[in-house]
Amino acid sequence: MTVNSSIAERFFEIVSGASDIAIVGHHNPDGDCIGCLTGMNAWIRHIFEGAGKNVSMLVPNAFPDYLKFMPGADSIKIYGSAPGAVEAAISSAELIICMDFNNLARSEGMASHIGKSKAKKVLIDHHPFPEDFADLMISETEVSSASEVAWWLLNAVSALKETDITDDVKTSLYTGMMTDTNNFCNSVFPSTFLMASQIADSAVDREMIQAEIMNSFSEQRMRLMGEVLLNKMHIFSDLKAASIVLDQKTKEGFSYRDGDSEGFVNLPLKIKDVEISALFTQSDGFIKVSLRSKGAVSVNRLSRQYFNGGGHERAAGGRLYDMPIEEAEDYFVKSLRSFLNP
């Protein structure tokens, strides 16, 4: 993708004109979300150093430990733990930059405060069908991640203003891109490799990033993965589908922490004839749904139709309310059957 110079100019002007800036991410923040936030935070702090800008990073709920190595991640404010501080940051902001989500509801408890705010709003995203809530929308779908969108945006600004992009920014955006592509497996475009190659040609420590993201499981998380594959994954051959149900009891049995099931939904797709995979995780008051496809089936449509959610064609998510966890798998099979044979 490319970002044209008029968009880059407009973005630069908007950021220049705001002295109080909130950068906002989505519910269950993933690597792309945290990468975008810390990358944009580091960029603004570097470019406007000494200008007295107040920048805050806000997310609705906690993010996994393995993302805490990202530069500045320790200063991210979490709405669920400190609603007052987050509301104050939103209400004092003159600019709100929303990253890696396409509708305000994905910012959960923060959504109504952002909606009410008179601040200028910028959206930087890569999901289809973005809601039209921002003054400046930088949203493309033929791109790996919101971190990649941010990379090309900041490159366009750099070309225009002759500024540099620091290693902290690169570390964050590279991590966001790498995690959202599942380590260069999904949604990889020529521009994605170009971004990777440009960052590889810098002092960024890719081995460290790789180790933090790929090889930092706790023993319990690794054993939970074993349990899931052996006892919780069920295959429905006629539908070329598989599902995994992660109930509360199993979570507790393996001392589950936020993010421990990250990537589990991809595992069944390693089986040759499985084309659709679903993970149902029992959560507080709802079942979290993760859907993946490696073929032509659009899990974005499946999610919108049956799971109160959305996402991308091959990676989507949603929620089930008022359903006992024991019924999730049956509901999945029935929904998928109707979806495939309308």
Of 297 and 315, CB closest to ligand 5GP: 315
Total number of residues binding Mn ion (CB under 5 A)? Answer: 5
Coil/strand/helix, residue 12: helix
Q: If contact means CB under 5 to 8 A according to the sort of partner, which of Mn ion, ligand 5GP, none does residue 316 touch? A: ligand 5GP
100 binds Mn ion (CB under 5 A): yes
260 binds Mn ion (CB under 5 A): no
Q: If contact means CB under 5 to 8 A according to the sort of partner, which of ligand 5GP, Mn ion, none does residue 32 touch? A: Mn ion
Cα dihedral sign for 124, 298, 111, 88?
negative
- Compute the distance between CA of residue 225 and CA of residue 171 in angstroms, rounded to an integer: 28
Of 71 and 310, CB closest to ligand 5GP: 310
- Strands (DSSP E) contained in the chain are 20-24, 54-59, 77-78, 95-99, 120-125, 136-139, 233-236, 241-246, 276-283, 286-293, 310-311, 315-320
Cβ at position 256, least distance to Mn ion in Å: 23
Residues 40 and 150: beta-carbon distance below 8 Å = yes
125 binds Mn ion (CB under 5 A): no
Q: If contact means CB under 5 to 8 A according to the sort of partner, which of Mn ion, ligand 5GP, none does residue 147 touch? A: none
Which residue of 180, 260, 262, 275 would you call a contact of Mn ion, by CB under 5 A?
180
List CB contacts of 287: < 8 A, sequence separation 6 or more. 280, 281, 319, 320, 321, 323, 325, 328
Per-residue tokens: 256: 């589950």
Q: If contact means CB under 5 to 8 A according to the sort of partner, which of Mn ion, ligand 5GP, none does residue 318 touch? A: ligand 5GP
Cβ at position 310, least distance to ligand 5GP in Å: 3
**Four-CA torsion 164, 169, 175, 180, nearest 10 degrees:** -80
Of 71 and 176, CB closest to Mn ion: 176
DSSP H helices, 102-145, are: 111-116
Of 117 and 293, CB closest to ligand 5GP: 293
Cβ at position 316, least distance to ligand 5GP in Å: 4
Beta bridge partners of 246: 281
Using CB under 5 A as the binding rule, the residues of this chain from 128 to 157 that contact Mn ion are 145-146
Of 139 and 290, CB closest to ligand 5GP: 290
Nearest to Mn ion by Cβ — which residue?
A: 32
β-pairing verdict for 233-236 and 54-59: unpaired
Of 166 and 281, CB closest to ligand 5GP: 281
Cβ at position 113, least distance to ligand 5GP in Å: 19
- Compute the distance between CA of residue 285 and CA of residue 105 in angstroms, rounded to an integer: 17
Q: Where do contacts with ligand 5GP occur on this chain (CB under 6 A)? A: 28, 30, 290, 309-312, 315-319
Of 53 and 292, CB closest to ligand 5GP: 292
Quote the longest CA-to-CA distance of the chain: 62
Which spans of this chain sit near Mn ion (rule: CB under 5 A)? 32, 100, 145-146, 180
